Every structure is written in C-alpha cells, then in structure tokens.
C-alpha cells in the first residue's frame, strides 16, 4: 500500500474534505507542486486553479480561487478563499468567480494592478480547464 498523508480542505463556510491521500496537487502561487508523504514542510499561497487530492480509493478535485496550503509531516492542510468541487462547476459559477475577480481588479491600487490582472487571467484559465 502506498504511503499516505492526512489531507484537509476547508473554506470559510465549511470543511470540504478530510481523508488519507497518496498525493495532493496544489496550484501554488509560485508554481504547481505535488505533496506526498515525506515532503519538506512548506507553506504556500494558492493561485486560482485545480487542487486535486488522490487517495487510495478516491480522487477529489476542487477549483480554488486562492488561500494557503501548509504541508507538514502530519499532512496537507488547505484553507481556500473559495473552493468548488470540479463536478459542481458550471459556466455560471465560473462566470461569477471571474466577474468577482474583474471587480476586484478594477478597484486595485496602481501597485497591485498587475497582481489583480494576473488573478483575472488565472480565473480565465480555470474557465478554459472547465471547458475540457
């Protein structure tokens, strides 16, 4: 049996997942990463993308808009700003998320404008992923 680690995903509203995973694929702000048992302890911010946890008997995938992931010897804990199970994604849900990102970008201070526009582009990429 493959080595596992505890995976927990929570959003401000609720706990979305908690189970033993073989690997967790994380859309990190500095690049995608895969956490497995024995991974170096790390804390990273999330960018909009697909977070996937692969267990021995199930795989769960979520579209996340941001947040933080902490990888420790005990497992992976993710606090997502917003997380939607991929199977629940619809064009309407994604359009709402993109509109929200655009609204935030329009109000961004000049120093934050590039980062805000990157968020919109990441959200658009999520939309492309959903189309496939």
E strands, 30-98, are 31-36, 42-46, 49-55, 59-64, 67-71, 75-80, 83-85
- The pTM for the full model equals 0.74
Task: With cut-offs at 50, 70 and 90, classify the pLDDT of residue 107.
Answer: confident
Q: 83-85 and 15-28: which strand pairing?
A: unpaired
> Could you tell me the two tokens for 62?
């979520």
Q: Which of 1-5, 58-62, 108-112 has the highest mean pLDDT?
A: 58-62
What is the C-alpha to C-alpha distance for residues 29 and 67, in angstroms, rounded to an integer? 10
Which tens digits make up the pLDDT trace of 13-58? 899 999 999 999 999 988 899 999 999 999 999 988 889 999 989 9
Architecture of the domain made up of 5-85: Sandwich (2.60)
Q: For the chain, what are the domain ranges?
A: 5-85, 89-131
């Amino acid at each position: 049996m493959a080595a596992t680690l505890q995976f927990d995903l929570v959003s401000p509203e609720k706990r979305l997942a908690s189970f033993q995973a073989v690997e967790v694929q994380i859309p990190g702000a500095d690049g995608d990463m895969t956490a497995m048992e024995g991974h170096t302890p790390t804390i990273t911010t999330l960018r909009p993308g697909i977070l996937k946890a692969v267990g021995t008997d199930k795989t769960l995938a979520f579209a996340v808009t941001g947040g933080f992931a902490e990888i420790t010897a005990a497992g992976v804990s993710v606090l997502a700003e917003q997380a939607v199970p991929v199977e629940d994604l619809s064009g309407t849900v994604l359009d709402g998320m993109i509109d929200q990102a655009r609204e935030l970008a329009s109000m961004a201070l000049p120093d934050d404008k590039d980062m805000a526009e990157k968020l919109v582009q990441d959200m658009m990429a999520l939309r492309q992923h959903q189309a496939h």
